[in-house]
Amino acid sequence: MPRKTGIVVFAHGSRRNDGNDTLIQFTAKLRLRLGSELIEPAFMELSQPTIPAAIHKLVQQGCNHIFGYALFLVPGAHLQEDIPALFTKTLKEFTDVTWEISPPLLADPRLLDFVTECLKAGK
Protein backbone atom coordinates (compact mmCIF):
# COMPACT_ATOMS: atom_id res chain seq x y z
CA MET A 1 0.00 0.00 0.00
CA PRO A 2 1.47 3.40 -0.95
CA ARG A 3 2.11 5.85 1.82
CA LYS A 4 -0.50 8.60 2.17
CA THR A 5 0.68 11.21 4.64
CA GLY A 6 -1.56 13.53 6.59
CA ILE A 7 -0.14 16.47 8.49
CA VAL A 8 -1.26 17.70 11.91
CA VAL A 9 0.06 21.19 12.62
CA PHE A 10 -0.27 21.58 16.36
CA ALA A 11 0.33 24.09 19.10
CA HIS A 12 -0.35 24.14 22.80
CA GLY A 13 -3.65 25.99 22.64
CA SER A 14 -4.84 29.13 24.37
CA ARG A 15 -7.80 30.36 26.34
CA ARG A 16 -7.84 33.29 23.90
CA ASN A 17 -9.66 32.63 20.65
CA ASP A 18 -7.54 35.11 18.70
CA GLY A 19 -4.43 33.10 19.54
CA ASN A 20 -6.04 29.88 18.39
CA ASP A 21 -7.45 31.53 15.26
CA THR A 22 -3.90 32.36 14.22
CA LEU A 23 -3.08 28.65 13.95
CA ILE A 24 -6.30 27.92 12.04
CA GLN A 25 -5.46 30.67 9.52
CA PHE A 26 -1.83 29.57 9.26
CA THR A 27 -2.92 26.01 8.49
CA ALA A 28 -5.32 27.22 5.80
CA LYS A 29 -2.42 29.07 4.14
CA LEU A 30 -0.29 25.91 4.33
CA ARG A 31 -3.05 23.94 2.56
CA LEU A 32 -2.99 26.45 -0.30
CA ARG A 33 0.80 26.57 -0.56
CA LEU A 34 1.22 22.81 -0.43
CA GLY A 35 -1.86 22.07 -2.53
CA SER A 36 -3.15 19.50 -0.05
CA GLU A 37 -6.31 19.13 1.98
CA LEU A 38 -4.56 16.57 4.20
CA ILE A 39 -3.34 19.21 6.65
CA GLU A 40 -5.22 19.75 9.92
CA PRO A 41 -4.72 22.25 12.72
CA ALA A 42 -4.86 20.96 16.29
CA PHE A 43 -4.29 21.93 19.88
CA MET A 44 -2.81 19.94 22.72
CA GLU A 45 -5.27 21.47 25.16
CA LEU A 46 -7.53 24.45 25.86
CA SER A 47 -9.05 24.58 22.37
CA GLN A 48 -10.56 22.66 19.47
CA PRO A 49 -9.82 20.74 17.36
CA THR A 50 -7.80 18.44 19.56
CA ILE A 51 -4.82 16.45 18.34
CA PRO A 52 -6.80 13.17 18.50
CA ALA A 53 -9.68 14.72 16.50
CA ALA A 54 -7.27 15.92 13.80
CA ILE A 55 -5.56 12.53 13.63
CA HIS A 56 -8.89 10.72 13.34
CA LYS A 57 -10.00 13.07 10.55
CA LEU A 58 -6.86 12.30 8.54
CA VAL A 59 -7.12 8.54 9.12
CA GLN A 60 -10.76 8.68 7.94
CA GLN A 61 -9.45 10.30 4.75
CA GLY A 62 -7.21 7.29 4.15
CA CYS A 63 -3.93 8.54 5.59
CA ASN A 64 -1.64 5.74 6.75
CA HIS A 65 1.13 8.02 8.00
CA ILE A 66 0.66 11.04 10.25
CA PHE A 67 3.31 13.74 10.42
CA GLY A 68 2.90 15.98 13.44
CA TYR A 69 4.40 19.40 12.89
CA ALA A 70 5.07 20.88 16.31
CA LEU A 71 4.79 24.62 16.74
CA PHE A 72 6.75 24.34 19.97
CA LEU A 73 10.05 26.12 20.49
CA VAL A 74 11.91 23.74 22.80
CA PRO A 75 11.98 19.99 23.52
CA GLY A 76 10.05 20.21 26.79
CA ALA A 77 7.92 17.60 28.50
CA HIS A 78 4.90 18.22 26.27
CA LEU A 79 6.88 17.57 23.09
CA GLN A 80 9.00 14.71 24.42
CA GLU A 81 6.43 12.88 26.55
CA ASP A 82 2.84 14.11 26.48
CA ILE A 83 2.31 14.48 22.74
CA PRO A 84 4.01 11.21 21.72
CA ALA A 85 1.82 9.45 24.32
CA LEU A 86 -1.22 11.16 22.81
CA PHE A 87 -0.29 10.01 19.28
CA THR A 88 0.33 6.47 20.52
CA LYS A 89 -2.98 6.29 22.40
CA THR A 90 -4.95 7.81 19.52
CA LEU A 91 -3.50 5.43 16.94
CA LYS A 92 -3.44 2.24 19.02
CA GLU A 93 -6.43 0.82 17.14
CA PHE A 94 -4.95 1.75 13.75
CA THR A 95 -1.99 -0.63 13.65
CA ASP A 96 -1.26 0.10 9.98
CA VAL A 97 -0.83 3.85 10.59
CA THR A 98 2.66 5.13 11.34
CA TRP A 99 3.54 8.52 12.75
CA GLU A 100 6.34 10.92 13.54
CA ILE A 101 6.67 14.34 15.12
CA SER A 102 8.94 17.17 14.00
CA PRO A 103 11.69 18.47 16.24
CA PRO A 104 11.07 21.76 18.07
CA LEU A 105 11.44 24.97 16.10
CA LEU A 106 14.62 26.11 17.86
CA ALA A 107 16.36 22.99 16.53
CA ASP A 108 16.14 24.43 13.01
CA PRO A 109 19.12 26.71 12.21
CA ARG A 110 16.94 28.69 9.78
CA LEU A 111 15.07 30.14 12.76
CA LEU A 112 18.30 31.72 14.00
CA ASP A 113 18.74 33.33 10.57
CA PHE A 114 15.12 34.56 10.59
CA VAL A 115 15.37 36.06 14.09
CA THR A 116 18.73 37.65 13.26
CA GLU A 117 17.24 39.31 10.19
CA CYS A 118 14.23 40.56 12.15
CA LEU A 119 16.47 42.03 14.83
CA LYS A 120 18.70 43.71 12.28
CA ALA A 121 15.61 45.22 10.65
CA GLY A 122 14.38 46.43 14.02
CA LYS A 123 11.21 44.31 13.98
Q: Which residues are catalytic?
A: 12
Between strands 39-43 and 98-101, the pairing is: unpaired
In contact, 57 and 26? CB cutoff 8 Å: no
